[in-house]
Structure 1
C-alpha cells in the first residue's frame, strides 16, 4: 500500500542545503519528508572530506545567520567543527524526526495533477506534491581520461581520508582546485615527493590578509570589478607573480572560475617540497 504523501514535499539530501531547506519548510508549517542516501546527516562533510579539511570560506559567511557557529570556533572551522555544527542545527530545530537515512532515491518522474512519483532503491514508491533537490555535487567522482596505463595506485580526492595514505610515497596530484592543493601540501609534508600537475594555472588566493579572512573583506556594495582588483592586489602583495614560482600566468580573470584559496602551495613550491608540472600527456607503467 502506497503512503499518502501527496500533501508533502520531499527534500533529497540532509547536508548544509537540505537541512536549511527543512528548517525553512518547518518554520513555514509546510509538510515535508526528508531522505538521505548516507547513514548520517551532514552531506559531504560526513562522507566526502578528509580529516584535515577546513572550509575555505570563513565562519562568518558560512554560518546560518539565525544560528551562529560557536564563539570558540576558528575563522576556518575544521570538518569535525562543521559536522558538530550541523548536528547542533538539526537538534536545535528538531529536524531529525523527519529525516530518513540510508534511503537512496533511484528515480523521480512527474505524474498527473502536478505531482511527482518517487521510486526508492528498495522499490518503494511514493507520490509527492513537490521535490526539493539538495543532493550537492561532490558525491560524484570525475576522472580525467588519460592516454596509456599506470601501474601504481590512482585515487580520487574523495577517497583520500588521512595523511597515512601519502606517507613516504611519490605523489602526483592532478588538478588545481582546493582539494588538490590540500592533498599536494599534505604530500609535501609527509610524502617522499609532491608533484602538482595543472592543465592550466590557477589564481592562488590567500585565505587571510592583514589577519582577516579574505572572504570577510568583501562587502555587499562592492562591484565585481572592484572585488576582482582588490583580490588581484592582495595576491600580488601576498605571493607576488606566478613567474616567481615557475608557474604560468592564469588565462582567466579572477572569479571567472571557482576560486582556489590556498597559502600552502606557493609556500611549499618555494621550499622545493612541491614541484609544478603541466598537463599529463601520457601514462606509461610506473612513469607519467
Structure 2
C-alpha cells in the first residue's frame, strides 16, 4: 500500500500511470513514445498545446526547411519517404511527424500543461500536476518521468531600452510567418543566427528593407561543400581527424566558397565552429542565400542596439535608423526550471548538468531527451537509450511478478 506525503493531492483527480509520463509531444517525446511502444511499455504523454510538434506547426516561418539532410533528421525506426527532397520543407516534416505518431499509435493528452513535477521520497514515485484549458487539475503518479520539452520551449525576449516606446510592430521570430506583410517596410531583425539570417532573406524576397543586428561574432558556413552536406562532411572527417583539424578544414572551405565575410561586418569567433558548438552550444549559420543579399547591401548589417526611440533605433555607434517594425530573432530557452522541482540533474538554465553523451538519465527514474544541442540526431540517440533503459526495468519487474505469482490484475493498468 502506498503512503503519500501530501494530503493536498486528494483535492484533485489522481491518475496512477502504469509506466512513464512523458512531458512534451514534439519530436523528442514522440521518439521516446515510439520506443516504449516497441518495448511493450505503457505510458502517458502530456502536451500543453492542441497538436503534436506545436513549435513546428505554430511557431515557425513558412519558408523553413530542415537545414540538414533528411537522413540526419529522421526519428528511430521510421525513415522519411523516398520521394521527399534532401532538405524537407516545414510542411513535409510536420506530415512526417504526424505519420510517425499514427504508425506507432501515439495519442498524446493535449491541452495538459504541467504546472509542477517532483519526486515523492515517501512513496518513491513522481507526482506530475497538470491543468487544462478549463482549469481542471490532474495529478499523474508514475515511476518514471521523461522530460521532453526540449531546448526551445519558450521564446527569449531581451529587455532593450525604449522598446515599449518604439510605436511600431514588434514580434518575436516565432510569430513571423512571411515577409509579405512587411513589403516596402524598413524592418530591424535583432539576431544573426539561422533564424535571423533566414528572416532577413525572406524579407528581401518580399521587397522589404531589412537591417540585421550583429552584436557578436558568428560562423557562417555553406550548406554544402563539393556537393555534400557540410554537416555530413564534418561528421565523416571526425571519424579520422581531431576536432581542431576538422574545424580548420571547414573554415578553409568556407573561405574558398564564401570569401572573407568579415569585411561585411560578420566577424568570426576565435573558436572553430565545431568546438564552439560542443563547448557553448552555439550553432553555426548555414548560408541559404542571405550572404549574397548582404554582399549586395539588400540586407544591411548594423552593430548592437543602444536604445529604441519613437519610430527609430539608435545603435551603439551613434547611428540612428528609421524603422517600421522589429523582428526579435533572439532565440529560445528551456522552461524546465519553471515546473520541474529538481536540482541535481538539471541546472538553472534548464539543461542537464552532465555533458553529452551522459545527459539523458538522472536519478529516481528521471530522464531527459532533446537537450543535447545536436539536433534531431541527438534526439533519436537519447530516445533509443531511454526507451531501452525503461524497457529493461519494466521487463525485469514483470519477471519478478511472475516469480512471485502475483496476479497481474493487481497491477494498476493505465487506460491511455
Same fold, TM-score > 0.5, yes or no: yes
- Summarize the Cα distance change of 1:272–1:126 in structure 2 as closer, same or farther, 3 Å threshold: same
Paired residues of 2:129 and 2:138 also in contact (CA < 8 A): yes
**1:276 matched to which residue of 2?**
301
Within the alignment, does 1:16 sit opposite 2:35 as a pair?
A: no
Find the partner of 1:101 among 88, 110, 113. 110
Q: In angstroms, what is the RMSD of aligned CA positions? A: 1.8
Q: Which runs of 5+ in 2 are unaligned?
A: 1-11, 277-281, 314-416
**1:241 matched to which residue of 2?**
260
Deviates more, 1:20-29 or 1:133-142: 133-142
Paired residues of 2:53 and 2:94 also in contact (CA < 8 A): yes
For normalisation by structure 2, the TM-score amounts to: 0.65
**2:186 matched to which residue of 1?**
170
Deviates more, 1:193-202 or 1:247-256: 247-256
Deviates more, 1:109-118 or 1:73-82: 109-118
Distance across 2 between alignment mates of 1:136 and 1:165: 31
Shift of 1:2: 4.1
For normalisation by structure 1, the TM-score amounts to: 0.93
**1:285 matched to which residue of 2?**
310
Paired residues of 1:151 and 1:286 also in contact (CA < 8 A): yes
Find the partner of 1:134 among 148, 153, 156. 148
Task: Find the structure with the greater CA-based Rg.
Answer: 2
Q: Which runs of 5+ in 1 are unaligned?
A: none
The 3-state SS of whatever aligns with 2:129 is strand
Paired residues of 1:4 and 1:126 also in contact (CA < 8 A): yes
The 3-state SS of whatever aligns with 2:154 is coil
Alignment of 1:221-232 (within 5 A): 221-222=239-240, 223-232=242-251
1:133-182 Cα deviation digits (max 9, x unpaired): 11123231111221223121111000111222322211110111111111
Tell me the matched-pair count. 286
Shift of 1:37: 1.1
Distance across 2 between alignment mates of 1:176 and 1:43: 24
The 3-state SS of whatever aligns with 2:93 is helix
Distance across 2 between alignment mates of 1:39 and 1:200: 37
Find the partner of 1:216 among 232, 240, 256. 232
Shift of 1:3: 4.5
Shift of 1:226: 2.9
